Chains A and B, each alone.
Chain A
Amino acid sequence: MKIFDEKDSRQWSRMGPRAMFGQFMLEIAKDNENLMVLSADLGRSSGLDRFKSMYPNKYLSVGISEQNLIGVAAGLAKEGFKVFVTSFAPFLSMRASEQVRMNLGYMKLPVNLVALGSGVSMGYLGNSHFGLEDIAVMRSIPNLNISSPADCGEIGKMLSDYCVNNHGPSYIRLTGIPGSPSVYKSNYDYTFGEPITLKKGKDLLILATGSMVAQSLIAGKALSENGIDAEIVNVHTLKPISEKIVEKLNKFENIVTIEEHSIVGGLHSIIAEKIVSKFSKANLFPIALPDRFGPTGTYNYLLEYHGLIGKKIAINILNFLKKNKS
């Protein structure tokens, strides 16, 4: 992918993850003869209109049939195509979860699933369309990588990496909407599976994924103003989870996980399992969506409602630290 600058970053952030997915695939298609992009009647919602007209031979819509979508994708991958599949998060991760298990997990066919509009970014479309539990479901399937890019720049880095380097089957979870803040204002080094420390700190470790990385940086500033020096890490790949993260768990007394996913089975669970298995004595504070079907509204309303904006994150972390001291 091209080296990007602040202007690109601003523009990409304005366009949002779904439109940028389509844009990046256009770029990837130029250099990859064997590429196939598949959709189950959500091409337009995936920003793929231009892709469809520019590369009709590399695009296939199978109609509204997500289970079939995965099987067809696997058949193409078996014949050597580099396959990207898009749909909304719950339809890929749950409607078709057994197809993912058999075709991708069990047979290890290298299909890349791009889950659009995960978390609560579908706003008024409601819980039927939210990706609340997708990490939990997908991460229980062996052989599947799970990644969640922090912003549009990282979507581009990740897509080209997954295309060029065969990491096996993968689930790429997109969160955020047009206008969601970006993390990377200019080009940076991205390596598959390697978490990125965005800010060094000594008082507290913040592990964030997807849309919550940008919010953590905002929270980090507010914490600094209150004399708390937090280390902030972008956990863009949740499975396999990097040993570098595991190493950090013993170095901090207080650890916060932040994710736009249910508190069941996502980043919090991943870290909690590691803390237990490493006999770490760290205090763990999860910031996540609750284990229930919540209200609907605009994306920003929902993030605020669930305490997933920088300002509220900072307040909650300060309370957590206060409680641990007393």
Chain B
Amino acid sequence: MRKVLLDVSLNCGEPAHIGGALSIIDIMATLYGNILKLDIIKPIDRFILSKGHGFLGLLSALHCKGYIQKDELMKFQTNGSELIAHPIVNPKFGIESSNGSLGQGLSFGVGIAIAYKKKKKDGSIFVLVGDGECYEGAIWEAAIAATESNLNNLTAIIDCNGFQNDGAINKNMNSDELKAKWQGFGWNTIVCDGHNISELLKVLKVKSSNKPNVIIAKTIKGKGVNFMENNNDWHHGRLTQKLFDEAIKDL
């Protein structure tokens, strides 16, 4: 999946959100490779990428899953393409929502989770949120709503890569602090290594009996490519052939 991500980034010739996509890519692999019960026609589980700029991570997963073919994939960030920096809802491709404006995906997930409860529909709703995104007030509005409706079918995953657009995130928003905050809001809170697949497999299956679940996933921005790791220039950066070749060697 990392290779797909790099291929696509190189091919478009435009700056792309690579760092924050690499930080979620093991989470995406675990979700799409094992956890999610998917059905294009009648989705069972649903995945919402609230941190829409991580779309390259989702795109790679949807390609590896066979929902997006190579010719479509390679249109990423080309003129007129529907596959751009942020997800645009597209049932055919398995993209559940349009995102890009931060702080909105969790409420959407809460609405779907409530609908599932009302319809007595099995299935889980996963919403991936950035750590920087947790500065958005609307995230906490949704956090309250989810506990009030006892949405144990909802799991938020916080991608704690420690960086936002302008640099490192304040220590008030590190994984320990986020854990305390989510616990304080009444969520079933689990901390894990966001790059350890066996750990992810375990925690993503956890369902509280009456609370919404949150996985605080400790991740590394740019994970897997040495010169990108913890280097925020790759929050949104342009890949050249030379850099691509170097990156591929690291995988």
Closest approach, in angstroms, between the C-beta of A158 and any C-beta of chain B?
A: 24
Tell me the bound Cα distance from A52 to B89 in angstroms.
Answer: 33
How many residues belonging to A are interface residues under a CB distance threshold of 8 Å? Answer: 28
| C-alpha gap A36/B115 in the complex (Å) | 10
Flag the segment in B75-83, B102-110, B224-232, B241-249 that touches A: B102-110
> Given A72-B114, A75-B114, A79-B115: A98 and B107 within 8 A (CB)?
no
Chain B contacts of A99 at CB under 8 A? 104, 107, 138
Q: Which residues of A contact B105 (CB under 8 A)?
A: 71
> Judging by beta carbons under 8 Å apart, are A76 and B114 in contact?
yes
Instruction: Tell me the bound Cα distance from A76 to B112 in angstroms.
Output: 5
Report the separation of the CA atoms of residues A317 and B112 in the bound assembly, to the nearest whole angstrom: 52
Complex Cα spacing A74 to B148, Å? 18
Query: Which residues 101-139 of B sit at the A interface, judged by CB distance below 8 A?
Result: 101, 103-116, 118-119, 121, 137-138
On whether A63 and B145 interact (CB within 8 A), knowing A99-B104, A102-B104, the answer reads yes
Chain B: CB-nearest residue to A77: B111
Q: Is B98's CB within 8 Å of the partner chain A?
A: yes
Q: From residue B135, how far is it (CB to closest CB) to chain A in Å?
A: 14
Whose C-beta in chain A lies nearest to the C-beta of B97? A107
> Which chain A residues in 41-71 approach chain B with CB under 8 Å?
57, 60, 62-63, 65, 67-71
List chain A residues, Cβ under 8 A from B137: 67
Q: Roughly how many angstroms separate A67 CA and B136 CA in the complex, as a whole number?
A: 11
Check: B144 CB closer than 8 A to any chain A CB.
yes
Please count how many residues in chain B sit with their CB below 8 Å of the partner chain's CB atoms. Answer: 31
Q: How far is the CA of A210 from the CA of B207 in the complex (A)?
A: 49
- State whether the Cβ of A78 lies closer than 8 Å to any Cβ in chain B: yes
Whole-angstrom CA separation of A71 from B101 in the bound complex? 12
B141 in the interface, Cβ–Cβ < 8 Å?
yes
Q: Which one, A67, A73, A77, A106, contacts B138 given CB within 8 A?
A: A67
**B217, chain A: closest CB distance, angstroms:** 22
Please state if A107 and B111 are interface contacts (CB–CB under 8 Å): no
A71 to B113, CA, bound (A): 12
A72 touches which one: B98, B100, B110 (CB < 8 A)? B110
A30 to chain B, nearest CB (A): 18
List chain A residues, Cβ under 8 A from B99.
102
The 5 tightest CB contacts between A and B, nearest first, are A75-B111, A71-B107, A79-B115, A68-B141, A65-B141
A-B contact sample (10 more), CB < 8 A, given A69-B107, A98-B104: A63-B148, A71-B105, A71-B106, A71-B108, A71-B111, A76-B111, A81-B115, A99-B138, A101-B101, A102-B101
* 17 A-B pairs with C-beta separation under 8 A: A57-B118, A62-B141, A62-B145, A63-B141, A68-B141, A71-B105, A71-B107, A71-B138, A72-B145, A73-B111, A75-B109, A75-B115, A76-B114, A78-B111, A98-B101, A101-B101, A102-B98
